[in-house]
Amino acid sequence: MAADTNKTRRIGDVEVSAIGLGAMPMSIEGRPGEERSIATIHAALDAGITLIDTADAYHLTATDVGHNESLIAKALASYGGDTSNVLVATKGGHVRPGDGSWTLDGSPKHIAEAAEASLKRLGVEAIGLYQFHRPDPKTPYEDSVGAVRDLLDAGKIRMAGISNANPEQIKLANEILGGRLVSVQNQFSPAFRSSEPELELCDSLGIAFLPWSPLGGISSAGDLGAKHPAFHTLAAELGVSPQRLTLAWMLAKSPYVVPIPGSSRPETIRDSYAAIDLHLTPEQVAVLDAA
């Protein structure tokens, strides 16, 4: 990647804001009312965010499958400004039966049908970025990724990504996609660092790495500073929130990292986006790396 400001990154051939919006909290357990959710999406757009991450499985009951995708489509349609540069990334392969559980279906048939349904809910000619959500032990990985490749070849999706993948799966997916894998979305946060190898691999391959739950997840994000003293201390020194510092730390790790913090309130996504203006020294990054 060419020298870049902290404000933008690339996913495939698309330039996006260096911080994205993870929209899941607006549609699962504890979700807010629609008015606040749409206000949050609009606040993200106002701030300059041009990447919104969703999935067909972000819903509560068996009757509101795709709730999050429909919500995003409604928010984009009702936004007063230009949204032509907004990349909506969705996923398929996870299923929520409606009893609170998460199950898997990576069969090619399901992936094809799920993508078609997502396409309709998002109201687009082609999905900007479609990601295989999570490996399904019942389905060979190459079959699941092959279904995504078929969507790409058919023009139903513009770019292809994977999620919750290990280094071997990343290499395999990129091979199956003919070198067209543009993103890997894995869990990564101060408390969850076991995906460092995937981050480093993406950096070496020039593939975007999208940390999900970068602040520790819905229930833990508010306690990030208390649980990680080094982040609390440096954030206090810099006069910023531990959450903002965490995202700045991730941005400093690689020019291919694009965090997607979940949010359901305008003020939290504004604070997250402000991380693009927080530039850390190599010494400060090293302290947080070692914490």
pLDDT computed for residue 1 by the predictor: 35
How far is it, in rounded angstroms, from Cα 70 to Cα 20? 18
Q: Is 141 a catalytic residue?
A: no
Domain-embedded: residue 34: yes
The structure tokens listed for 133 are 């959500």
What's residue 220's pLDDT? Answer: 78
Strand, helix or coil at 186? Answer: strand
**Ordered per-residue pLDDT tens for the chain, 291 residues:** 333 457 999 999 999 999 999 999 999 999 999 999 999 999 999 999 999 999 999 999 999 999 999 999 999 999 999 999 999 999 999 999 989 899 999 999 999 999 999 999 999 999 999 999 999 999 999 999 999 999 999 999 999 999 999 999 999 999 999 999 999 999 999 999 999 999 999 999 999 999 999 999 877 788 899 999 999 999 999 999 999 999 999 999 999 999 999 999 999 999 999 999 999 999 999 999 999
Backbone phi, then psi, for 10, in 5-degree steps? -120, 140
| Dihedral pair phi/psi, residue 189, rounded to 5° | -165, 175
Residue 83 main-chain phi, psi, to 5 deg: -115, 15
Q: Residue 98 has what pLDDT?
A: 87
Residue 1 in domain: no
Which class for 101: exposed (0-12), middle (13-18), buried (19 or more C-beta within 10 A)? exposed
Structure tokens at 230: 């080094």
**Domain with 52 in it:** 8-290
d(CA 249, CA 227): 16
For residue 141, being part of any structural domain is answered with yes
181 in a domain, yes or no? yes
Q: Specify burial of residue 33 (Cβ count, 10 A radius: 0-12, 13-18, 19+).
A: exposed
Total count of domains within the chain:
1
Task: Tell me which of 58, 141, 256, 273 is the catalytic residue.
Answer: 58
Give the count of beta carbons closer than 10 Å to the beta carbon of residue 143. 14
Annotate 50-81 with b (16+ C-beta within 10 A) or e (fewer): bbbbbbbbbbbeeeebbbbbbbbbbbbeeeee
Domain membership of residue 3 (yes or no) is no
Look at residue 119 in the predicted model and tell me its pLDDT: 98
> Could you tell me if residue 67 is inside a domain?
yes
Q: Calculate the dihedral angle through the C-alpha atoms of 187, 129, 91, 40, rounding to the nearest 10 degrees.
A: 70
| Residue 193 in domain | yes
91 within some domain: yes
Query: DSSP letters along 133-165, please?
Result: -S--TTS-HHHHHHHHHHHHHTTSBS-EEEES-
CATH assignment at residue 137: 3.20.20.100
Q: Identify the pLDDT of residue 5.
A: 55
**Position 106: which residue type?**
G
Residue 100 buriedness (CB in 10 A; 0-12 / 13-18 / 19+) = exposed
DSSP one-letter string for 28-71: STT---HHHHHHHHHHHHHHT--EEE--TT--SSTT-TTHHHHH
